[in-house]
Amino acid sequence: MNIAQQIVNGLVLGSGYACVALSWTILLGVARLVNFAHGQLYMLGAFVTWYAMTKAGLPYPLAILAAIIALGLLGALMQTAMMRLVMTQNLTSLMIVTLGFGYVLQGGSALIFGGNPQTLPGTLARAKVDLGSLWFTWQDVLVFAATLLLYGAVWLFTQRTRYGSVIRAVAEDPKLAELFGINAKLVYLFVFVFECAAVALGAALVAPRSPILTSMGFNEVIMTFVVVVLGGIGSITGALVAGLGLGLFIAFFGAFVAQAYTTAAAFALLLILLVIRPAGLAAK
Amino acid sequence: MNRTINLAAALLFALAAPAMAQDIKVGTIFPLSGGAGPDGQTVTNAVKLVVDQINVKGGLLGRKLVVVSKDDESTPAVGVSRANEMIAEKADVVIEGWNSPVTLAMQPILARDGVLDITAVSKSDLILAGETNPYAIRINSSNGFDAAVIAKYVVGTLKAKKVAFLTQNDVYGNGFQTAVEAEFKKLNFSGEIVTTEKFAFKDTDFRVQLTNLKTANPDAIIVTNSSNSSGLPAMVEQYRQADVKSAFVGAVGIMLTTVFKVAGEANNGIVSADIYFWDLPPFNGIAESNAFAAAFKKAYGADPDKSAALGAAAVQVWASAVEATKSLDRKTVAEAIRGKTIKGTVFGDATFLPNGQLQPRYVVFKVVDGKNAKLEALPQN
Amino acid sequence: MSAIEQNHANSKPVQRTAIFIVLAATGFFLPKLLGGTSVAYSTLTTIAIFAVMCYGIDIVLSYLGEVSLGHTLFWAIGGYTAANLSVKYGLNGWSTAFATVALCIVAAGFLGAVTLRTREFVFSLVTYAAAVVGYEIAFNWDAIGGSDGIVGISALKLPFGVATFSGATQEDLWPVALTLLLLTLVFIARFRRSKLGTAALMVQMNPALAASLGIDPRKVRLAVFVLSAPITGLAGWLYAYQRAYVGPDMFETYFLVLMLTAVVLIGRRILIGPLIGTAILIAQQNLLSLGGDWNKIVLGSVLALVLIFWPAGLVGLFRNFGNVGLKAKE
């Protein structure tokens, strides 16, 4: 058992989970909005990046930017449509609406981008790093670095800036925040746009690892769910710790037990944890 | 006298007209959308092509053939709906099946209403198990036959002493591995199976398994991965990136067009086997295959692969049996296929076992140029 | 008109029973009226089964106001129980149905208990996680079917003392499906008027009032959830006999989205709403299919648009038109 390599594997997998989970946990924590279209947004982010690189000839960094902007705009549209439900905090309807949106995105993407698998050329996914006997790619390094940077930036923003405290206020008690003159609508809009933009970034960085299909999405973000609940809903540090931790767990469970059962193991772990500690790892 | 002649003519006309107007309906149910959409589309296209070829030659039993194609969306519940629609539309035969669960769900529906059901691609052994459908026919090879070819190569040609498995964790993958292990026993394999790594069909990241395999360092790794659109190409690339030195031996039929398109050069050196290649012997010597390949290239702009051949053969086998028995009855036609040999298909002579399984002919190959899908056939002694 | 108000409106039990009997009889002969073909029978049976499946989630969504994303778990429990017990042990329909109900209650009880101390929407997440775990178990555990599932489920056998009903063909299964549907409708109708039903509605609409009346929302949620599980479970039970094949596909989102759309489409707390919704969706899939991708777009749009613009469902839309008409008359 190559322990060192499995640790590297775990960190690579984990940074991917954490990167994709950040946006979901913030949205859930601030707006109590369970975005079931997260997986399809991930898929769309990957395809916009692909389209920008292969059809529009943009270099990778610009393609990432294109994906972020495109999905940000889409997010604004979606949130505007859902605004009434968000303001009345009609959580059940919101959940179902995002499920519906996810379906529309899936069908629409299949019609626009087709059903064939595509690869993203021009990324660092094939640039190998050999550190002694260890191996990983420069793309893995990029994902890891970007994840840490993103978490750091978001943490600083929410904990150290005025805007951050506005968002936290709305998260705590939207009605009270409105009494203090905060425009909750704008906050929700901003958070949702951030969610879409962040998942686009995550997709642009993580998706190049393997071929992309318009039918993907659900499976790619299923671990997000575990990361968010394990780390504590809305907790930024929690999501990072849980993401990396889950990656390491998966690597070692797969190495010593059986890789094929990792999803079952992760979710069983989740259920057990929810029984013992309903608030997740980061109890408020 | 005139009135009698008129009456007779009118009667004749009345009797003849419906018979002439009745087209024979060939139904197809394959995934046309979703992840397996492009694959299902290929099979359906091949069916349509062969049907056109038959119509050009005058049709079947003097009647024209018409293809009714439906999308099962790789979802068993949808497949069941489509099967019911086929029954309502009075299809004379249904050629179906890319995903085994969809086939297994549709079988009882079609069998209950007496519609002949030919499974083109789905690999589950349960399809030919008999209880649900006593007249089942399957064109694609079964795990049992596949295992023999791969085992023979690994033990006989490669003479591997240490073997490992990288297996998709479902009935298909596990079944294939069990069959290979059984073949090893038959061949008195003197080496050892050092390790087995498994993964889920939907997985696209295999670092953990590849790390374990690299540590075990077998001579050959037998890989069973049917996710030709995402998992398998990713696995091939990661295999090369991880610098695994063991020989990559792929299970029968997994190296489809998409794997070459996506993984390109990383495929170089992979050894596997399949049941049809339009440009390799013995198929490039079969007249029907060459005609089909040329027509397919002309109509769809691509060379036909194994999936297309399966669709084509399904139609050809059925049409032959119908022509021979002059009947469209399910039992009659099925019994003219099961346990019999049908000549003139893209596979050449198609011999069926009594349980409806087509006996495959294999080509063992090595990938010499992955980017252009150039293969070198290996001898199978 | 809410369910509470409807209690007083429908206070003519004889009239209601008569209407009910007439509808039941019409329903029984409906396939014959539509041609009597095996396809007519199988389509109507499918609609009936899927409608019962929807009613399970309907109780939780319409009356409790929560989204259960794990009802496919009970659907699958029903299917797998019927398949395993009848194929492996040759048990008859009554035994498999009883086992289904028991297992669903246990599963729902466990899940509900887990969420007793969590926040509202975490309930949805837990049910979702349960469905995923259920899928993984069903997929990987070869003893109960594995990834290819169980084939060759024999016909439904319901012994009635002297005679045995055997549901070998689609025609035979229709009376069973119709009976199950009618029983479900009666059950829901009684639930709406029961103490638990009104308590659930109160918890959804006016939590403060509920609290002041001493109603514990979490216990109510647990009770309603446990009550809803066997309904969907029995639908899955019958589905196994109809399809003669059960597999991990029972967990697919296809069924979940179908359930949610059927409930939401017509309007909540309307007794025959899920039934009509199911019929419309199945009809669209079978008769007006636009291809897999467009179907997804249509289904997703319907789900999203109905909830955004007409949260009360299509019925709300008609009510608006009705109100406009009334206003115009004045």
Nearest CB to A103 within list C126, C129, C296? C296
* Chain C touched by B107 (CB under 8 Å): yes
Contacting A with CB below 8 Å, chain C residues are 61, 65-67, 114-115, 117-118, 120-122, 124-126, 128-130, 132-133, 136-137, 140, 253, 257, 260, 264, 292-297, 299-305, 307-308, 311
pLDDT per residue over A199-256, tens digit each?
999 999 999 988 999 988 887 778 888 898 888 888 899 999 999 999 999 898 888 8
What's the one-letter identity of residue A145? A
User: Among all residues of chain B, which has the CA nearest to that of C293?
Assistant: B33
ipTM for the predicted complex: 0.89
Nearest CB to C133 within list A108, A218, A267? A267
For residue B84, pLDDT over 50 is answered with yes
Q: Do C249 and B101 touch (CB under 8 A)?
A: yes
What token pair was written down for C254? 């296809």
Domain residue limits, chain C? 2-252
Q: What is the mean pLDDT of chain B?
A: 91
Q: Do B131 and C291 touch (CB under 8 A)?
A: no
> Taking CB atoms and an 8 Å cut-off, how many pairs form between chains A and B?
87
Q: Provide φ and ψ at B305, rounded to 5°.
A: -105, -170
Extended beta strands in chain A, E state:
128-131, 134-137
Q: Do C255 and B126 touch (CB under 8 A)?
A: no
Domain residue limits, chain A? 3-276
CB-based burial, C261-270: b 16+ in 10 Å, e otherwise: bbbbbbbbbb
Nearest CB to C148 within list B37, B126, B132? B126
Nearest CB to B208 within list A209, A213, A254? A254
Nearest to A208 by CA among A120, A116, A137: A120
Distances (CA, A) of B60 to A99, A117, B200, B315: 48, 38, 44, 11
CB-based burial, C17-36: b 16+ in 10 Å, e otherwise: eeeeeeeeeebeeebeeeee
- Which segment of B118-122, B165-169, C117-121 scores lowest on mean pLDDT? C117-121
Chain A residue numbers touching C260 (CB-CB < 8 A): 96, 99
Q: Provide φ and ψ at A119, rounded to 5°.
A: -115, 155
Chain A residue numbers touching C128 (CB-CB < 8 A): 225
Nearest CB to A267 within list C124, C132, C304? C132
Does domain A3-276 bear CATH number 1.20.120? Answer: no
Q: Do A212 and B33 touch (CB under 8 A)?
A: no
For residue C121, pLDDT over 90 is answered with no
| Four-residue CA torsion sign, B326, B331, B336, B337 | positive
What token pair was written down for A234? 């809305």
In angstroms, the separation between the Cα of residue C273 and the nearest Cα of chain A is 17
Q: Do B258 and A6 touch (CB under 8 A)?
A: no
Percent of chain B at pLDDT > 90 equals 80
Q: Which residues contact A73 (CB under 8 A, 6 or more apart)?
A: none
Helix (H) or strand (E) holding B94: strand B93-96
Which residue would you say has higher pLDDT here, C221 or C184? C184
In angstroms, the separation between the Cα of residue C108 and the nearest Cα of chain A is 14
Nearest CB to B33 within list C146, C243, C292? C292
- Which segment of A93-107, A208-222, B222-236 scores lowest on mean pLDDT? A208-222
In angstroms, the separation between the Cα of residue B19 and the nearest Cα of chain A is 41
| B contact residues 265-324, partner C, Cβ 8 Å cutoff | none
Interface test with B, best of C38, C142, C147 (most B CBs within 10 A): C147
- Touching subunits of B (3+ CB pairs, under 8 Å) are A, C
In angstroms, the separation between the Cα of residue B41 and the nearest Cα of chain C is 13
> Taking CB atoms and an 8 Å cut-off, how many pairs form between chains A and C?
118
- Which segment of C31-35, C132-136, C278-282 scores lowest on mean pLDDT? C31-35
Which residue would you say has higher pLDDT here, A163 or A37? A37
CA dihedral C24, C28, C30, C36 (to 10 degrees): 180
For residue C5, pLDDT over 70 is answered with no
For residue B8, pLDDT over 60 is answered with no
What token pair was written down for A18? 């954490």
Which residue would you say has higher pLDDT here, C262 or C155? C262
- Which segment of A147-156, B252-261, C306-315 scores lowest on mean pLDDT? C306-315
